[in-house]
Amino acid sequence: MSLNVFWFIPTHGDSRYLGTTKGAREINYDYLRQIAVAADTQGYDGVLLPTGRSCEDAWVVASSLIGATKNLKFLVAVRPGLSTPGLAVRMASTFDRLSNGRLLINVVTGGDQGELEADGLFADHAERYEISDEFLRIWRGALSGGDQGFDFEGKHLTVKGAKTLYPPVQKPYPPLYFGGSSEAAHELAAEQVDVYLTWGEPPAAVAAKIADMRARAAKFGRTLRFGIRLHVIVRETNAEAWKAAEQLISHVDDAVIARAQASFAKMDSVGQKRMSALHGGKRDKLEVSPNLWAGVGLVRGGAGTALVGDPETVAARMREYADLGIETFILSGYPHLEESYRFAELVFPLIGKGTNREVSNLTGPFGEIVANEFVPQASQS
């Protein structure tokens, strides 16, 4: 099984425990660079950078990491309605050229009305998807309009003579990723994007989404690729993994959970509602499907589920999703630096992943030299 496996750059914070300052660490450039370099050298295909007012700016952070990495791709958000299509195209083209084709675009319509209004966008759920639809039509036109430019007049957006003087490396444009669970989101994705992303719901729910998206895309004569966003808690034994899951939420109290759930309830995101419904804000039934744990979603918005288990179990669960059509796994774990190593060491060999060529061509020994003399041997157990 060969899969695309991405890691996560935690620009909104990182810690050993959720919902508390205990075990937290400062998010600065050095730390984010460590995570990016770790992901790059271990052979992760790319990284996702979150977006929103709770995060450092994704474009600035990703741009700062181009020179620190060699092969890593960056999945960075464009926000229709907050950015004009022309500006977004120039930013994307520049990033793609400077990184030699390592940009992926995450189209985010947003689900927090209060946050969007604070940023100056006063549009309801339906209007945001209309804006996104027009934005993507202009996006394509500006990248293929030629010397004459591209004209478009829509309900929300209008351009005249839009064109790209410095085209991106990837043709016809950096691939478009998109996630959304509403009817409007599914229609937009079916017609306009390249990769449809789902949060980590139980396999049956994911299967239903994929079937629906394939049918919708077929109406437009298109096919889609699929990805999933999950956390991972992998240890050498299942018992250790479940203990680590419990420890992750061991310092968050019920008042913090209630406050977080109340905040999520105000959002108009269908996907967030589906995430919250998995656990209902309660700790007692967090394993919502075999080895799929919803504890992260008690206090974290967006992706709220984790695969929990030993390496063989986690790999088997990933294969279940892959059998449904999932090609890209966008993963994270707390803390993100250590867990990037742990997942790569324990699970990569089971799913056909490996280190980048620069690392695999090294000729020196792996592991600490034994007794100052002997090269360590592979374990027989």
pLDDT at 201 over 90: yes
Q: What percent of the chain has pLDDT over 70?
A: 94
Q: Which domains does the chain have, with CATH numbers?
A: 4-237+309-360 (3.20.20.30)
More confident residue, 229 or 270: 229
Q: Are 82 and 121 in contact (CB under 8 A)?
A: yes
Helices (H), 249-375: 254-265, 270-279, 311-324, 336-347, 357-360
Phi, psi values for residue 8, rounded to 5°: -130, 135
Instruction: For residues 340 and 46, give the distance between their C-alpha atoms in angstroms, rounded to a whole number.
Output: 12
pLDDT at 356 over 60: no
pLDDT at 126 over 80: yes
What pLDDT is stored for residue 233 in this prediction?
98
Q: Cβ–Cβ contacts within 10 Å for residue 11, how many?
A: 20
Q: Cβ–Cβ contacts within 10 Å for residue 267, how many?
A: 19
Strand partners, 76: 105
Q: Give which of 304, 298, 307 is closest to 242, Cα–Cα.
A: 307
Q: Give which of 376, 381, 314 is closest to 349, Cα–Cα.
A: 314
**Cα 9 to the center of its chain, rounded Å:** 9
**How far is residue 231 from each of residues 25, 54, 332, measured CA to CA in Å?**
19, 19, 5
What pLDDT is stored for residue 359 in this prediction?
45
Instruction: For residues 74 and 67, give the distance between their C-alpha atoms in angstroms, rounded to a whole number.
Output: 12
Place of tokens 């306009």: 192
Instruction: Indicate the pLDDT class of residue 91, thresholds 50, 70 and 90.
Output: very high
What pLDDT is stored for residue 358 in this prediction?
45
Q: What percent of the chain has pLDDT over 90?
A: 75
pLDDT at 360 over 80: no
The DSSP result for 164-231, as a single string, is -SS--SSSSSSPEEEE--SHHHHHHHHHH-SEEEEE---HHHHHHHHHHHHHHHHHTT---EEEEEEE
pLDDT at 41 over 80: yes
Tens-digit pLDDT profile for residues 228-255: 999 999 999 999 999 999 999 999 998 9
Instruction: Indicate the pLDDT class of residue 334, thresholds 50, 70 and 90.
Output: very high
Helix, strand or coil, per DSSP, at residue 339 = helix
What does the DSSP 8-state code read for residue 333? -
* Averaged pLDDT for residues 81-88: 94
Tens-digit pLDDT profile for residues 50-70: 998 889 999 999 999 999 999
